[in-house]
Structure 1
Amino acid sequence: MSDSTADSDESGWRVRILDLSGGAEDGIVEEVGGFVDLSHANAFARAYVRDSIERCRVPGASPREVLQSWLSFGEDAEIQDVGDEGWRSANELDDFTANPATPMERDWRALDPRRLVEDEDDDVDE
């Protein structure tokens, strides 16, 4: 069973998580693989950034202040090797900083393929 998991992690779409604070080597925190399709990877990246922006939001902050905080302390996500088909945070930053996210919009954990594999393994044991 671990061989198939390794295969799914090695192929397909990968989302790179970037530390905007500059604390990680080359700015890369991690790469997540194993997405079912490109729309799955795009949804994960979008929710991940949405959550990162909300963690940088403080009560009463203007959209500009939220953006500045995110650019200093947040994390970005990009889909590797997909060209124009991949989701890009720059396309939605104005909306994200101006409008707080709902819990569902920022729930990247529900879309994390690493969690999906663990859940499938748990179902097999039952």
Structure 2
Amino acid sequence: MNAIADLFAPPGGWRVRIVDLSGGAEEGVVEEIDGFPTLMQANAFARAYVRDSIERCRAPGLAPEDVLDAWQRFGEDAEVLEAGESGWQSATEREAFAVQPASAPERDWRALDPRRRGAEGLDSDDESA
């Protein structure tokens, strides 16, 4: 993907696929979230989502390799669709994530979720009525 293509989102915005690593969902896909206006936002969401998933698999005293093993058995991965090599990939950072616990802002994927914008808009409309 070239730099010019990175400037424009596909119709409906960039999409992030959430994949259940435990095998509980059909073909592993839990959901697809669309509406990311930029690739940077989709990448940031995917990264924070995986960061949070790894932290939910972290237990006190677990070695980093055990944290990663727990995540690969029970966690959720995220991938940016149609982004090619420009899309964030968990393989590039998951080992570092297992070594270094995340801060709250690093794992706050909810703040980056495009579905939240619509919900906030409804809330503000309700307050003015």
Q: TM-score, normalised by structure 1?
A: 0.89
Q: Partner of 2:121 in structure 1?
A: 120
What is the total number of aligned residue pairs between the two structures? 117
1:21-63 Cα distance to aligned partner (Å, 9 max, x none): 0000000000000112111101110000000000000001011
Q: Partner of 1:103 in structure 2?
A: 104
Residue 12 of structure 1 deviates from its aligned partner by 1.5
Q: TM-score, normalised by structure 2?
A: 0.87
1:39-96 Cα distance to aligned partner (Å, 9 max, x none): 1101110000000000000001011000000000000000001101100000001110
In 1, Cα distance between the equivalents of 2:43 and 2:125? 28
| Aligned 1:74-113 pairs, distance under 5 A | 74-113=75-114
Paired residue secondary structure (2:56): helix
Paired residue secondary structure (2:77): strand
User: Which stretches in structure 1 are left out of the alignment for 5+ residues?
Assistant: 1-9
In 1, Cα distance between the equivalents of 2:123 and 2:38? 23
Q: Partner of 1:3 in structure 2?
A: none
Residue 14 of structure 1 deviates from its aligned partner by 0.3
RMSD of aligned alpha carbons:
1.0
After the TM superposition, which segments of 4 or more aligned residues of structure 1 sit over 4 Å from their partners? none
Q: Partner of 1:49 in structure 2?
A: 50
Letter of the 1:122 partner, please give it.
D
In 1, Cα distance between the equivalents of 2:13 and 2:55? 29
User: Which stretches in structure 2 are left out of the alignment for 5+ residues?
Assistant: 1-10
Identity score, percent: 61
Letter of the 2:82 partner, please give it.
D
Residue 123 of structure 1 deviates from its aligned partner by 2.6
Q: Does 1:58 align with 2:59?
A: yes
Letter of the 1:38 partner, please give it.
L
